[in-house]
Chain A
Amino acid sequence: MASEPGPRGAEIMFALREAKVEFVAALPDIWTSAGLLWPLSQNQDFRLIRVCKEDEGISVCAGLNLCDRRAVMMMQNTGFLDSINAIRAIAVEFGEPICMLVGLLQKEPDRPPNRSESYGVRIVEPILDAMGIDHICIEDSADVALLAPAIDRAYANSRPLVALIGRQVRP
């Protein structure tokens, strides 16, 4: 795991296009900022909606899904933790296929998220498991292949998805 560099932003954008994602709601996360969010902000294939707080983005994605438009929400693990109630209500209980890219800030490259020294990183997967939320972890380029099928699965089953970004995304 440690020997591979992080995924490239272009690979993630390709996967989002493959999954027919048109809209991206986001707050900046230094893990994905240079490699993904800045390039995405200049890419005409996506409509970027910069929100003030992460739970807003969850809800914007839900509104888009009501009209059959696909979206993802990009945020940091801190924003995910702050948005738990919106995710609980809208994504889980209302059954909206909210897809989230969650940067695990300062996760060590040689450890899985649940063994991180960082408390804020270590608790994310157990919370997702407790909430019954499908999740994948993207550590390197090979893992990006998991993303489009996972998004398709979320929409097919009307269930949320969290794609954890375990390494800094490269431009």
Chain B
Amino acid sequence: MMRRDDAIRTLARQRGDAIVFAVYNAAFDLRRVAPNPLNLYSAGAMGQASSQALGLALGMPERKIILLDGDGSLLMNLGSLVTIASVAPTNVVHFVCENGCYEANGAHPIPGRGRVSFAGMARGAGYPHVFEFDELDRFTAEVPRILLLAGPVFATLKLVPGDPSPLDYAYINSREIRREFKAALKAGGEGRSS
């Protein structure tokens, strides 16, 4: 099983000028290990990150949008798999960090833990490229190819937490973070360092 912070480091090395949108603990890890003005963080608003990522992808079709979704988050917005596959933006790479629990809310297990297949659901929804990774070496080898595919691409990352990250909910839920992100986009990616 991969550590989440290691997987995020791997992804960050290959991202280029892509936007990386992460929720909950993936957001805290991303901010700690790979800060970038083109990172967007959120608590997700009950699974809404995937739909916000679709809006970003439609608004900026020339830019790669990498989403680090949560398994509990995606379960709250499963219809978004069908919507994204239907709209079929070629610039979306939708990762789901599968840790099998609501880590931010006491680590209670998600329904279907260990049985539900997020990759299977994405395939059934119509994503043309679907992957599943549980080893860092294989993920590291495949990331460059995944990021070059015409999407939407879906990949489950079976993970365990890595080193703890500061849980700054006030920051990731702030209006400022979105204003800074917009400013970074307008500046071509320069600006905020966190």
A interface residues with partner B (beta carbon < 8 Å): 23, 47, 49-53, 55-69, 71, 85-86, 89-90, 93-96, 158
Contact = CB atoms under 8 A, between A and B. Distances in A.
Contacts of B59: 63-64, 66-69
A66 B58 contact: no
B87 A67 contact: no
Contact of A52 (B43, B53, B55, B82): B82
B52 A63 contact: yes
Interface string B47-71: 0111111111111100000000000
Interface string B149-167: 0000000000000000000
27 contacts: A49-B54, A53-B77, A53-B79, A56-B51, A56-B54, A56-B79, A56-B80, A59-B45, A59-B51, A59-B55, A60-B51, A60-B55, A60-B58, A61-B55, A62-B48, A63-B54, A63-B57, A64-B55, A66-B59, A66-B178, A67-B56, A67-B59, A85-B45, A85-B46, A93-B173, A94-B173, A95-B175
Main secondary structure of the interface of B (DSSP, over half): helix
5 smallest CB-CB distances across A and B, nearest first, come from: A63-B55, A52-B79, A59-B51, A67-B59, A89-B45
A49 B86 CA distance: 9
Of A49, A62, A63, A90, most B-chain CB atoms within 10 Å: A63
Given A63-B59, A67-B59, A90 B83 contact: no
Interface residues of B, number: 30
Nearest to B61: A67
B82 A66 contact: no
Of B49, B52, B175, B182, most A-chain CB atoms within 10 Å: B52
A59 B178 contact: no
A158 B55 CA distance: 17
B173 A66 contact: no
Nearest to B78: A52
Interface string B82-125: 11001100000000000000000000000000000000000000
A94 to B, nearest CB: 6
Nearest to A53: B79
B172 to A, nearest CB: 11
B182 A90 contact: no
Contacts of B75: none
B1 interface: no
Contacts of B45: 59, 85-86, 89-90
